[in-house]
Amino acid sequence: MTRALNTPRPARVRLEPARPDGMPAEVNGEAIASLRESWLVEDRWWTAEPLRRRYWELVGEQGRDVVVFHDLCSGRWFVQGP
């Protein structure tokens, strides 16, 4: 049975109202210490199911690297990676 690896998992994200850029302040209960990188992915815009994601690579309070993205089509947050 073939299946994709690294599929997105729903994440619980808290935003910092003071930050207008939409950077998460907390991901799955872990506070965010710093931002490493942020990028935008737009794909399949020519289809009926376009893909628009704002990715955030963050470092948690415990030093763990976490990659989350905001699905700009559905408005939901997902975590990706180990």
Partner 1 sequence: MVVCVYIPRFELVVAAGDRAKVIRETLAGRALAVAPLAGGDRSRVGQRVGEVSGAAEARGVAAGMALGEALARCPHLVLVPGDPVRVAEAWEAAMRALESIGAAVEPARPGLAYFEAGGLRGLHGTQERTLAAVQRVLGRPVRMGAGPTRFCALACALAASSQRALVLEGEEARRWLAGRPVGLLGFRVQTAALLEPLERLGVRTLGELARLGRAELTDRFGSAGGLAHRLACGEDSPPRARRVEERLEESMAVGDASSGEALKRVLGVLVSRLLARSERRGRTLRAATLSARLIAGGGWRERVVFRQALADPERIWLALSVRLLALPAPATMLELAVERFGPPASEQGALFDETPARRGAHPARLDAHPSARSVRAARLREAVAQMRAVAGQDAALRAVCVDPDSRVPERRVVLAPVPE
Nearer to partner 1, 4 or 18 (CB): 4
Residue 36 interacts with partner 1 (CB under 8 A)? no
Please report whether residue 1 would count as binding partner 1 according to CB under 8 A.
yes
Sequence-ordered list of residues with C-beta below 8 angstroms from that of 49, at least 6 positions apart, any chain: none
Any contact of residue 41 with partner 1 (CB under 8 A)? Answer: yes
Residues counted in the chain: 82
Residue with tokens 């415990």: 62
Among 21, 43, 61, 65, interactor with partner 1 by CB under 8 A: 43
Angle at 56 between CA 46 and CA 15, to 5 degrees: 110
Q: Binding to partner 1 by residue 74, rule CB under 8 A?
A: no
Say how far apart CA 9 and CA 27 lie, in whole Å: 12
Contacts to partner 1 by CB under 8 A: 1-12, 28-29, 41, 43, 51, 76-77, 80-81
